[in-house]
């Protein structure tokens, strides 16, 4: 049987007796999971959301991407966020990496175009739900998506004037959520946006690596976010593989099913083990 040497070596390492338990990590070490608004929320035309550049890309390049029929709804995190937060709590993570959709909060991308209160409320509710359940939100301001209106009007990030609007969006988030959100990331994988979107119009995949070797080498690692918390729409690959700690069954009302990886994460890297099934 064919094997993947990279993943085989990772699995061999994490299943070996030398792999660290939670207790061997520094006090306060963050064990989390991540996702992005673009890849899990759905509700494409609901709640006052404006279109983003990926809505347009998927529409006009349907033959390039798998599972385009699932793109508009995705895993319906927008409607099921409370259920998803409970699954994160059950998993045992103490932090969650998420992103806020610029076009859900500012459908036209500008303050002049208006702020969507339904979008503001959704992220308020999500952040509050996370904190209520002991999960610290780590928010990415832009995770690949930005308003289609700015692409059509300005040419997107090829036009320097978009920086003013990105600044306005960022300041709105700080003002609205900054009393509760203390950890921010500006742009997710900026090199992907620059190199692969604009130069090659394709996507890049990165292999996740365990942090323990870095800690052993003296690196000041303070947390680890497994990608991804739930099955995500992985662009050209769609939902062709189970990307999440929780698999989402599109043939069973989007039922969330814990994977072996979720049970491993819960068992080895959280305070207490509980059967996720």
- Complete domains list, the chain, with CATH: 33-242 (3.20.20.80)
Asked if residues 211 and 221 have their Cβ atoms less than 8 Å apart, the reply is yes
| Cβ contacts of 222 within 8 Å, gap of 6 or more | 26, 28, 29, 30
Cβ neighbour number for residue 15 with a 10 Å cutoff: 10
Instruction: Write out residues in the chain with pLDDT < 50, as ranges.
Output: 1-4, 6-7, 200-208
Is 83 among the catalytic positions?
no
Predicted local distance difference test score (pLDDT) of residue 2: 38
Asked if residues 115 and 71 have their Cβ atoms less than 8 Å apart, the reply is no
Predicted local distance difference test score (pLDDT) of residue 274: 59
Of 41, 118, 129, 189, which one is the catalytic site residue? Answer: 189
Predicted local distance difference test score (pLDDT) of residue 26: 83
204: its two tokens: 């890049």
Say what the pTM is: 0.89
Predicted local distance difference test score (pLDDT) of residue 1: 35
Predicted local distance difference test score (pLDDT) of residue 73: 97
Judging by DSSP bridges, how do beta strands 246-249 and 255-258 pair with one another?
A: antiparallel
270: its two tokens: 């959280």
Please provide the distance, in angstroms rounded to a whole number, between the alpha carbons at the two ends of the chain: 29
Predicted local distance difference test score (pLDDT) of residue 199: 52
Predicted local distance difference test score (pLDDT) of residue 11: 58
Asked if residues 247 and 231 have their Cβ atoms less than 8 Å apart, the reply is yes
| Cβ contacts of 183 within 8 Å, gap of 6 or more | 136, 137, 138, 139
């Amino acid at each position: 049987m064919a094997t993947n040497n990279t993943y085989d070596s990772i699995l061999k390492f994490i299943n070996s007796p030398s792999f660290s338990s939670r207790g061997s990590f520094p006090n306060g070490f963050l064990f989390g999971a991540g996702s992005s608004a673009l890849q899990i929320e759905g509700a494409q035309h609901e709640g006052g959301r404006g279109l983003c550049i990926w809505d347009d890309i998927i529409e006009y390049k349907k033959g390039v991407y798998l599972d385009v029929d699932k793109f508009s709804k995705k895993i319906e995190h927008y409607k099921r966020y409370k259920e998803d937060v409970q699954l994160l709590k059950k998993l045992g993570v103490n932090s969650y990496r998420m992103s806020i959709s610029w076009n859900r909060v500012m459908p036209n991308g500008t303050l002049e175009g208006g702020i969507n209160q339904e979008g503001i409320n959704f992220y308020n509710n999500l952040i509050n739900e996370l904190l209520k359940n002991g999960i610290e939100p780590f928010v990415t301001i832009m995770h690949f998506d930005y308003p289609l209106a700015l692409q059509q009007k300005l040419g997107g990030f090829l036009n320097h004037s978009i920086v003013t609007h990105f600044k306005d969006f960022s300041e709105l988030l700080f003002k609205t959520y900054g009393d509760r959100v203390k950890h921010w990331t500006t742009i997710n994988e900026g090199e992907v946006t620059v190199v692969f979107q604009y130069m090659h119009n394709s996507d890049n995949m990165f292999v996740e690596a365990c942090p323990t070797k870095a800690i052993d080498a003296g690196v000041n690692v303070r947390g680890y976010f497994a990608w991804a918390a739930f099955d995500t729409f992985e662009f050209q690959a769609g939902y062709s593989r189970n990307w999440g700690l929780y698999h989402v069954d599109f043939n069973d009302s989007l039922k969330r099913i814990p994977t072996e990886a979720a049970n491993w994460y819960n068992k080895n890297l959280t305070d207490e083990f509980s059967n996720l099934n």
